[in-house]
Each structure stands twice: as structure tokens, then as C-alpha cells.
């Protein structure tokens, strides 16, 4: 599987068909957590979104990501897609973020290229899983969207 990140107005180095100028991603971490009551173990508070954390290799996107962090510039839209299928890549998982901000950008050098970590916070996220039929064609898509400011889930 290959994972790609598209940040509006920041080009990456990917050349794969359908993901030209996206950023290739090595790993992704994302989730949400609800506070629980020690006594009952039930959710006792509002669900808190965790930032989307991505690890990439440095590339043409790196200065733009750093600038977005330093300027505090909002990224109107960001999209992450995980693909499967080799030469005929098909998207199997997707995160769509709106009103995103780069809140952390770190650079680690352990080999010739090193890695960088990008952390994004967001106002809204839509998470989708795209199923495939037995013949490999696009099947049903399941999506949950969450406005983190209002708490509304659709």
C-alpha cells in the first residue's frame, strides 16, 4: 500500500498517476479519544480529536510545510489517500480535512535522506473506507464526517 498527502497549494514529489505532485507518506497516525469516568468506565465528556500525524521523506514540499507552520497559515483543504494495487492503484482509505493547520514540523536525519514529521489539526474531518468487489472494481464507500468545533457527526 502507498499513502499520499495533498496539501492545498503545497506541491509534493509524487509522480504516480492520479497523485501527481502529492506528498508520499511513510506512516500515518490519527484518532480521537473520549474522557471516561473512573467509576463507570463510560464516556463522561466530549470526544477530543487527535491531530493527524504523518511521516514523510523531505522533498519539494518541505519548505512550504515549514512556512505554513511559521506563518500560521490555514490549509483550506488537505487529503490523505491510501492506495492498493501496484501499477493500477486504487484508493481504499481516505481522510479529507478542512480548515487544517500545520501545528508541528520536525526533521530527523538518521540516514542519507532522513525523515520529517508533519502534524495537522483540523476543523472538520471526513474519513472513508472504499471497498472493492471480488473483481477489483470500486464497491461501496463508507464515510463518517465530524465537525470538531460543533461536535456534529454525519
pLDDT score at 99: 95
Q: What is the chain's pLDDT, residue by residue, as a tens digit (154 residues)? A: 899 999 999 999 999 989 999 999 999 999 988 877 666 666 667 788 899 999 999 999 999 999 999 999 999 999 999 998 767 788 999 999 999 999 999 999 877 778 999 999 999 999 999 998 887 778 899 999 999 989 899 9
- How many Å apart are CA 76 and CA 6, to the nearest integer? 11
If one counts the domains in the chain, the total is 1
61 in any annotated domain:
yes
Residue 27: give the domain boundaries. Answer: 2-32+49-91+101-123
140 in any annotated domain:
no
17 in any annotated domain:
yes
23 in any annotated domain:
yes
Q: Which three cell numbers stand for residue 149?
A: 468545533
143 in any annotated domain:
no
pLDDT score at 93: 96
pLDDT score at 33: 87
64 in any annotated domain:
yes
Q: 23-29 and 52-56 as β-strands: parallel, antiparallel, unpaired?
A: antiparallel
**DSSP at 14:** -
Could you write out the DSSP letters of every residue in 69-108? Answer: HHHT-EEEEEEEEEEESTTS-EEEEEEEEEEEEEEEEEEE
Q: Which three cell numbers stand for residue 94?
A: 481516505
- How many Å apart are CA 16 and CA 105, to the nearest integer? 25
- How many Å apart are CA 82 and CA 94, to the nearest integer? 6
Q: Which residues of 112-125 are buried (b: 16+ CB within 10 A; e: fewer)?
A: eeebbbbbbbbbbb
38 in any annotated domain:
no
Whole-model pTM: value is 0.89
Looking up residue 86, the CATH number of its domain turns out to be 2.30.110.20
pLDDT score at 44: 61
- How many Å apart are CA 140 and CA 144, to the nearest integer? 14
Q: 115-121 and 138-147 as β-strands: parallel, antiparallel, unpaired?
A: unpaired
**DSSP at 153:** B
130 in any annotated domain:
no
Amino acid at each position: 500500500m502507498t499513502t499520499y498527502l495533498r496539501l492545498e497549494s503545497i506541491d509534493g514529489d509524487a509522480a504516480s498517476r492520479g497523485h501527481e505532485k502529492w506528498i508520499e507518506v511513510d506512516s500515518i497516525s490519527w484518532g480521537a479519544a473520549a474522557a471516561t469516568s473512573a467509576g463507570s468506565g463510560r464516556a463522561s465528556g466530549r470526544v477530543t480529536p487527535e491531530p493527524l500525524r504523518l511521516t514523510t521523506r523531505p522533498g519539494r514540499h518541505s519548505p512550504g510545510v515549514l512556512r505554513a507552520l511559521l506563518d500560521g497559515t490555514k490549509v483550506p483543504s488537505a487529503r490523505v489517500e491510501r492506495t492498493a494495487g501496484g501499477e493500477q492503484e486504487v484508493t481504499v482509505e481516505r481522510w479529507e480535512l478542512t480548515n487544517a493547520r500545520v501545528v508541528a514540523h520536525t526533521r530527523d536525519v538518521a540516514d542519507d535522506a532522513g525523515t520529517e514529521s508533519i502534524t495537522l489539526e483540523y476543523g472538520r474531518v471526513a474519513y472513508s473506507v472504499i471497498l472493492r468487489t471480488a473483481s477489483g472494481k470500486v464497491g461501496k464507500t463508507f464515510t463518517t464526517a465530524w465537525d470538531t468545533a460543533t461536535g456534529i457527526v454525519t
